[in-house]
Amino acid sequence: MQWETVIGLEIHTQLATRSKIFSATSTAFGAEPNTQASAIDLGLPGVLPVLNEEAVRLAVRFGAAIGAEIAPRSVFARKNYFYPDLPKGYQISQYELPVVGRGQVEILLEDGSVKTIGVTRAHLEEDAGKSLHEDFQGYTGIDLNRAGTPLLEIVSEPDLRSPQEAVAYAKKIHQIVRYIGISDGNMQEGSFRMDANVSVRPVGQKTFGTRAEIKNVNSFRFLEKAIEFEVERQIELIERGGQVVQETRLYDPTKDETRSMRTKEEANDYRYFPDPDLLPLEIDAAFIEAATADLPELPDAKRARFRADYGLSDYDANLLTASRELADYFEAVARICGEPKLAANWVSGELMAALNKSERDISDSPVSAAQLAGLLERIQDKTLSGKLAKQVFEAMFQGEGEVDAIIKARGLKQITDTGAIETMIDAIIAANPAQVEQYRAGKDKVFGFFVGQVMKASAGKANPAQVNELLKRKLQG
């Protein structure tokens, strides 16, 4: 039987506010346990939440970025359950009336086509604390620094049909939240966590199969692997005559499998009801206008512009718009050197490779956009060959200084003096009569030997185009 996979994602993205969603406590990452937990975060008796306006502003920006309706009135609700890292015994979230309504994003499929994925809603909520199960023999440590951190939960429609589509969608949301500056998207620190609802059905069937929810995946690679495993598990189960049960599962990356956490029967009844401590959240046009006035160009628009304005390929345009920082870097290089394609090749090639190798982000690249543009200018004015330029680039990346200083210090200036190249060629021809004979007898491959000899003699500095041209002439004799 042919099976179709159906996936919906719930993404929790931490909003980049300075203080928590309902208290004035700092949200900075990495502090000593429980040093960033006030009476409100601890859920002491008599304390009350007050909504952080900045969190609302960031949620509104997201809504605008995905073309969603911003609810003029939304409501905070309590999600009730007991857990030691949930201080109040309930999480303040939004349930029936979320702040961001239906919107959509476009993802690029592997075959180059574009698919629209519906976003059902996005709502504001507070994060819980952390339970630390290691380090405490027979006990669980509770760190409430994270309790009350603002989250935007972004819920997709079940529009995704493969693990790859799910990853493309997740990456797109990740890209958007970082573009519009509402989240640092730092996956190691838990700023971007994904839950995947996965089900399968026979191709052609209209109704959905029973779904399992894979909780708390924090990398795109794991997301893909977890869904792959889950799809296979479900298909195998059904084909063996079994039934998928609605349940929550966890992905274990070390074993590359998902495991049952709890079934629907064991699931909590969260007893949602409107939080009487908070008034309904009312958002007017002026607030939306102020929150979205400085929204930057979004990834899709930027990609289209890069293709149109700079003549970049789909591949390059996609790559160079992956983040705002990278796109800005590329544009700066292209502007200074005036050669967008050359700039694109260098940024997506040498620079990205070097950054990846040294595990650095574009924002802390040791080579600035101006420096890279300076290097490209030396290629354009023929001071450097491509090969020499790579040497200079490496030196710059190691922090050895500016382009011209490195060229000078290393004597890397390209030899373009025809006389000097001719002298070298003459000497090599004279020294290798046998090879000259072979070439003249029609063995073209020997040509490469001569090029190599000349480059060696010039310590790689001879202009390759000139070498080629002069060699051909002289060898034909």
- Rule CB under 8 A: which residues touch another protein? 39, 42-51, 78, 80, 82, 84, 87-90, 142, 269, 271-273, 276-279
Residue 474's contacts (CB-CB under 8 Å, 6 or more residues apart) are: 422, 425, 426, 429
Would you state the torsion angle of the CA atoms of residues 211, 223, 302, 346, taken in this order, to the nearest 10 degrees? Answer: -160
Nearest distance, CB of residue 144 and another protein, angstroms? 8
In the complex with another protein, the residue whose CB is nearer, 88 or 193, is: 88
In the complex with another protein, the residue whose CB is nearer, 45 or 477, is: 45
Nearest distance, CB of residue 51 and another protein, angstroms? 7
In the complex with another protein, the residue whose CB is nearer, 42 or 288, is: 42
The Cα–Cα gap between 246 and 263 comes to 6
Nearest distance, CB of residue 44 and another protein, angstroms? 6
In the complex with another protein, the residue whose CB is nearer, 86 or 322, is: 86
Q: Name the strands in the sheet holding 76-80, side by side, starting at the edge strand that comes first in the sequence.
A: 90-94, 76-80, 273-274
Classify residue 235 by burial, with Cβ atoms within 10 Å: 0-12, 13-18, 19+: middle
Which amino acid, residue 220? F
In the complex with another protein, the residue whose CB is nearer, 139 or 441, is: 139
Nearest distance, CB of residue 132 and another protein, angstroms? 14
Residue 101, sorted as left (phi over 0), alpha (psi -120 to 50) or beta, turns out to be: beta
User: Which residues, listed in sequence order, are joined to residue 250 by a DSSP beta bridge?
Assistant: 215, 259
Nearest distance, CB of residue 49 and another protein, angstroms? 7
In the complex with another protein, the residue whose CB is nearer, 271 or 472, is: 271
Nearest distance, CB of residue 241 and another protein, angstroms? 31
Alpha helices by DSSP H, 14-116: 39-42, 53-65
Nearest distance, CB of residue 274 and another protein, angstroms? 9
Nearest distance, CB of residue 87 and another protein, angstroms? 6
**Cβ(198)–Cβ(234) below 8 Å:** yes
DSSP 428-459: HHHH-HHHHHHHHTT-TTHHHHHHHHHHHHTT
The Cα–Cα gap between 63 and 58 comes to 9
In the complex with another protein, the residue whose CB is nearer, 22 or 229, is: 22
Nearest distance, CB of residue 198 and another protein, angstroms? 24
User: Of 417, 419, 444, whose CA–CA distance to 475 is shortest?
Assistant: 444
CA distances to 23, 26, 52, 118 from 17, in Å: 11, 9, 9, 27
- The distance of Cα 156 from the centroid of its chain, to the nearest Å, equals 18
The Cα–Cα gap between 432 and 451 comes to 13
In the complex with another protein, the residue whose CB is nearer, 88 or 461, is: 88
In the complex with another protein, the residue whose CB is nearer, 41 or 339, is: 41
Nearest distance, CB of residue 21 and another protein, angstroms? 13
Phi, psi at 202, each rounded to 5°? -60, 140
> Alpha-carbon torsion 353, 358, 360, 366, what sign?
negative
In the complex with another protein, the residue whose CB is nearer, 272 or 287, is: 272
